A and B are shown apart, each in its own frame.
Chain A
Amino acid sequence: MKQRQKTAIVASACLIVSLAASSFLLHRTDQLRPQATLDEVLFLSSPRVIKRASLGYDGLMACIYWTRAVQYFGYRHHYYAASYNLLAPLLEITTHLDPQLVVAYEFGSSFLAPKPPQGAGQPERAIELMEYGIQNNPDNWRLYYDLGFVYYMELRDYKNAAETFERGSHVPNAHPFLKIFAAQMAQHAGEYETARMLWSATYQTTQDQQIKQNAIDHLRALHVDEDVEHLQQAVTRLGERTGRLPASMAELVAAEGLPGTPVDPDGHPYKLTSEGRIEVRVPDDFPFATKGLPPGYKPKYQAFQ
């Protein structure tokens, strides 16, 4: 074997061993510091500075920050985090870099507004974001719809919700349902019905599969909330009539003349506890439900607080 061939073999072996060793060590280091790479750090927090530093390539920077916001939210949401401190700044940087990036307003508001662990629990920041979006994209009716949605769903602020839907209805090519929502908000009519209409509208008007799935999950949760509320009222009525709680769901069904054992959207019968509470069998299947959850129920993962 020639000297050059020997050198080539030794160098190749060294390269492979070093690569494997460094990868292994990096993997071990990540295990020692599991959150180190996704730590809550925003080295540059000023949107203006970042815009300047992008040397005019702000569109690409906006895409990078938007992806970072999605990853940040997705990671923490997956583990049912209780705080999303970087979410609002990341979204503000994204939209400042590219004010026409409509997707960042639409999804951003749905990340920011809901209470943890479903969202960041910052409806005020969501409203600021959406107002900035409307300011920069005044002809996009979906932004008015999303803002009205936040006012109604998260704050139950009928006045502002009605006003926002009304403003949106004047935008050229606005969907006709904005006028209906504006009227319904003004009347404060049928909470469940209105919420169902809003989520159905969201489902019908989006092409994005994730938004569609989110709308389905909310519609399922509304179904559960409404069922539990009606059944709970039935339990109270029976209690007032007989002076005791029903012993079983069968007794409640018979006393109320219900057509059969009430079931959740997955077909599981609702549970009647000995304390007279109506509960769902598998709470994890209804992440957005607010009623029918066992006392002290917490989602599967509580990694972040």
Chain B
Amino acid sequence: MRARIAHIASNTFREAVRDRVLYNLIAFALLLSGAAILVGQISIEIEKLVVINLGLTAVSLFGVVIAIFIGIGLVSKEIEKRTLYTVLSRPVRRWEFIVGKFFGLAGTLVVNTFFMAIGVFAALFYVSHKFVRADALILVALYFIILQFLIICSLSLLFSSFSSPLLSAVFAFSLFVIGSFAEDLRNFAGMAHGALRWLTTCAAYLVPNFSAFNVITSIAHEQPVARQLILQNTLYALFYAAMALSGAVLIFERRDLK
């Protein structure tokens, strides 16, 4: 079972690399090196802040875009190319296919993030000429970004399992935006009454809470992140991704592929 999942995952990774997904690293490198050189000349005293903020924001946004646009095609593309039938005619279960795809995409994003992280640290060294202990906090922000990717990958796969690529992209991107406002949604639920309160509370807990993963600004100011938050975010991301993947498996298992 593990071998089959690993095989599908490695194929998904290879396919993403063949699709030139990692080309985004060039744009990232240009963006970051441009910012590191330019900002010192057009602004005051925020060179390091810009490198951290811009670097981590770009890692996050590039990854979200990749997760959505690759994720939505993972199932539909296989059906369209009819390669899915070849895969499923072998001793591969449908859930293994979904889980393998998930790990393949997640792996692509982790590798992508790894290279971007090298870029962030290189740009940081360029503007600061040294590393300080607080710079290690950037690793926490990167870890949270990867957790965020896991959720988005699983959501893209969920939508991809029953919808067209275009609609899946709209759904996934909308959930990303709504998830960024999750705390507002919860506040709104607190202010509502009756059935609306019940509905908004349900919605608030159903949509992913991305705001808890965003620690970029505080890390740019060298503020430490509580261990409790790291633990809770890890568990939350794992449970949420598992929930969305389970949904994807349930739908895909019942899907008529004829």
Q: Do A and B come from one complex?
A: yes
Interface residues of B in 137-189 (CB under 8 A from A): 177, 180-181, 184
B46 touches which of A56, A67, A71 (Cβ 8 Å): A67
A63-B49 contact given A57-B214, A107-B44, CB 8 Å threshold? yes
Among candidates B44, B50, B54, B210, residue contacting A56 with C-beta atoms closer than 8 Å: B210
Q: A55-B177, A56-B180, A101-B49 are in contact. Are A210 and B44 (CB under 8 A)?
A: yes
Q: Mark B33-47, 1 if CB is under 8 A from A, else 0.
A: 000000100111110
Count of chain B residues near A, Cβ 8 A: 27
Pair B53/A63 contact, Cβ less than 8 Å: yes
Q: Mark A45-63, 1 if CB is under 8 A from B, else 0.
A: 0000000100111111011
Return the contact of A67 from the options B43, B61, B217 (Cβ within 8 A): B43
| A71 and chain B: residue at smallest CB distance | B42
Are A70 and B43 within 8 A (Cβ)?
A: yes
Residues facing A in B183-233 (CB within 8 A) are 184, 210-211, 214, 216-218, 220-221, 223
Q: Produce 1/0 per residue, A66-86, CB < 8 A to B.
A: 110011000000000000000
Contact B180 A59 (CB under 8 A): no
Partner of A63, one of B50, B61, B177, B180: B50
Instruction: Enumerate chain B residues within 8 angstroms of A55, measured Cβ to Cβ.
Output: 177, 180
Q: Answer yes or no: B234 CB below 8 A from chain A CBs.
A: no
Q: Which of A76-114 contact B (CB under 8 A)?
A: 98, 100-101, 103, 107
Contact B216 A57 (CB under 8 A): yes
A240 within 8 A of B: no
A contacts with B: majority SS: helix
A208 within 8 A of B: yes
Cβ-closest chain A residue relative to B60: A57
B57 touches A (CB below 8 Å) = yes
Q: Which residue of chain B lies nearest to A57 when distances are taken between CB atoms in the complex?
A: B57
Q: Does A208 contact B220, Cβ atoms closer than 8 Å?
A: no
* Cα of A286 to Cα of B57 in the assembled complex, Å: 44
- Return chain B residues, CB-CB under 8 Å to A60: 50, 53-54, 57, 216
How distant is B258 from chain A, measured CB to nearest CB, in Å?
41
Shortest Cβ distance from B127 into chain A, in angstroms?
13
B221 close to A66 (CB less than 8 A): no
B220 adjacent to A59 (CB under 8 Å)? yes
Q: Roughly how many angstroms separate A67 CA and B35 CA in the complex, as a whole number? A: 12
Q: A63-B53, A63-B54, A100-B221 are in contact. Are A56 and B45 (CB under 8 A)?
A: no
- The reply to whether A67 and B54 contact each other, CB–CB distance below 8 Å, is no
Residues of chain A with a CB closer than 8 A to B49's CB: 59, 63, 101
Q: Give the shortest distance, in Å, between B120 (CB) and chain A (any CB).
A: 13
B116: shortest Cβ distance to chain A, in Å?
15
Q: A208 CA to B42 CA in the complex, in Å?
A: 15
Shortest CB-to-CB span from A1 to chain B, Å, is 32
Across the interface, which residues of B come within 8 angstroms of A62, CB to CB?
53, 217
Q: How far is the CA of A59 from the CA of B216 in the complex (A)?
A: 7
- Taking a contact as CB atoms closer than 8 A, the residue among A57, A63, A98 that contacts B43 in the complex is A63
Given A56-B211, A58-B217, A103 and B46 contact (CB-CB distance below 8 Å): yes
B218 proximity list for chain A (CB < 8 A): 100
Q: Is the CB of A63 within 8 A of B44?
A: no
**Residues on A with beta carbons closer than 8 Å to the beta carbon of B184:** 52
Taking beta carbons and an 8 Å cutoff, which residues of A are in contact with B? 52, 55-60, 62-63, 66-67, 70-71, 98, 100-101, 103, 107, 208, 210
Closest CB pairs A-B (n = 5): A59-B217, A56-B214, A67-B43, A59-B53, A60-B53
Given known contacts A52-B181, A210-B44, what 9 new A-B pairs fall within 8 Å (CB)? A57-B53, A57-B60, A58-B217, A60-B50, A60-B53, A62-B53, A67-B39, A67-B43, A100-B217
A-B contact pairs, 13 of them (CB 8 A): A52-B181, A55-B177, A57-B214, A58-B217, A60-B50, A60-B216, A62-B53, A63-B54, A98-B221, A101-B46, A101-B49, A107-B45, A210-B44
